[in-house]
Each structure stands twice: as C-alpha cells, then as structure tokens.
Amino acid sequence: MRVVVADDQTAVREGLVTLLTTMPDVEVVGSAGDGQEVLALVARVTPDVVLMDLRMPRIDGIEATRRVRAHHPSTQVVVLTTYADDESILDALRAGAIGYLTKDAGRDHIRRAIEAAAAGQAVLDAGVQARLVEAVRLTPSASSKLPDGLTDREVEVLRLIASGTTNAEIARLLFVSEATIKTHVNHIFAKTGSHDRAQAVSYAHHHRLT
C-alpha cells in the first residue's frame, strides 16, 4: 500500500512517516506540508491512500480531499486530525474522504484504516461514528415533502450513503444488521429510481438531504 502523509506540523508529519515505515506492506511515497503540496505529490506518485490533516495552509484538507477524489479517483483519503466536530466530519466525508480518525488513534487503528481505505472500505473512529450518527439524526427530515414516499429511516440511510459510508459501516452506526441496511438501500433505489449508489447520492443532493 503506497501512502502519502499530509500534515502542516513537521514533527507530526515526520512522526507519522516513521510510524508508517514500521508497518509491513506500507510504503510511504511522500509527505506534504499543505494542501497544494498534496495535490502536486498525488499527481506525481498516485498513492493508494493519503493520510490527510484538515487545517493546513494555502489549500486546506477539505478542499485538497475534494480535488484528490475528483482528479485521482483511485486514491483514497483518510482524514487524520485533532478536530472531531460535526462540521469537520461531515465536510470531510462530503468531500470524499473514506475514513476519519482523530490523532489519538493508535498504530493498529491507523494501519486498519489504511488497509480498509485501500480496499475501498470506510473506517471511522468510534467517537466520530457517534457524532456522525447524532448529526444525521438531528438534521431535519425532508421526507414528508418528498413525492417518493421515503421514510425517515430511509432518509437517514440515504444521507449516510451520500457521506460515502458503506452498508457495513451504516449497519454499525445505526446498530442494525447489514441485511437490514441492504433492504433499506433497495427500497431507496426503488423509490428514487436509482440504479446505483451514485444515482442515489445525486438524488440526495438534488433534494437537499445532505
């Protein structure tokens, strides 16, 4: 797994590089101190995963994530930051981050996040999961205004789909089985006329559910 580390604090960045080099099957192919450097580096080396800080000069981590995912879809982004507020979490996921960790995450957790991201699977810190679920639940539901008969739970699942969360991750977040989530997703597809998750996400954005 080829990884780029992005953090504006030199000590943190170098510490992460040192940590990652001790992990088998992980190759650090570069590091960057701001979002502009990240974009140039990703374009040059095309890593599997970027470990992305949020608060960086010139181009911040949110915008850098958005541009990486738009121009280099084979590169996944895992946010690694000190910030775990609702706005930062949702903005990062909407920008295309597949994972979100806080900087108190341990070595094993970081490795699992990188492995999962490289495989296209979402990984969220436990505290981040809790905040994300709460943020989704507190968002006013527009389901009663929709002509397609979506239920409140289906709208909740649709929002999580739009944030880039997998079925397995949604199941853990909502404390239900993955089979239940698959049923909700099938109902969402049928009611919205969507053939895949991308169309469902487009529908969610069109109806201002995100």
Domain containing residue 36: CATH number: 3.40.50.2300
Counting the structural domains of the chain, the total is: 2
Is the same domain home to 27 and 94?
yes
140: which DSSP letter?
P
73: which DSSP letter?
T
Range of the domain at 112: 2-125
The residue from 97, 125, 153 where one domain ends is: 125
Residue 38 is predicted with a pLDDT of 96
81 neighbors 61 (Cβ within 8 angstroms): yes
Residue 132 is assigned to a structural domain of this protein = no
Residue 142 is predicted with a pLDDT of 46
Residue 144 is assigned to a structural domain of this protein = yes
What are the pLDDT tens digits along the chain (210 aa)? 999 999 999 999 999 999 999 998 999 999 999 999 999 999 999 999 999 999 999 899 999 999 999 899 899 999 998 876 767 777 888 788 888 888 888 888 899 889 988 888 877 776 676 666 566 555 555 444 655 788 888 988 998 888 888 888 888 788 788 899 999 999 999 999 999 888 888 888 888 776
Residue 191's alpha-carbon distances to 17, 30, 114, 144, 157, in angstroms, are 47, 45, 35, 14, 13
93 neighbors 170 (Cβ within 8 angstroms): no
The residue from 76, 103, 125 where one domain ends is: 125
Q: Which two tokens stand for residue 185?
A: 């997703």
The residue from 74, 93, 125 where one domain ends is: 125
d(CA 178, CA 198) in angstroms, rounded, equals 19
Contacts 24+ apart (CB under 8 A), 41-44: 41/4, 42/4, 42/68, 42/72, 42/75, 43/71, 43/72
CATH of residue 178: 1.10.10.10
Residue 45 is assigned to a structural domain of this protein = yes
Strand ordering across the sheet containing 27-32: 27-32, 2-6, 49-52, 76-81, 99-102, 123-124
Is the same domain home to 48 and 121?
yes
Is the same domain home to 83 and 117?
yes
Q: Which two tokens stand for residue 203?
A: 């529908």
CA 205 to chain CA centroid, Å, is 17
Residue 172 is predicted with a pLDDT of 78
Residue 88 is predicted with a pLDDT of 79
Q: What are phi and psi of 4, to 5 degrees?
A: -110, 140
d(CA 23, CA 181) in angstroms, rounded, equals 34
Is the same domain home to 153 and 87?
no
Residue 140 is predicted with a pLDDT of 52
Is the same domain home to 109 and 179?
no
Is the same domain home to 108 and 150?
no
Residue 187 is assigned to a structural domain of this protein = yes
CA angle 56, 204, 48 (to 5 degrees): 45
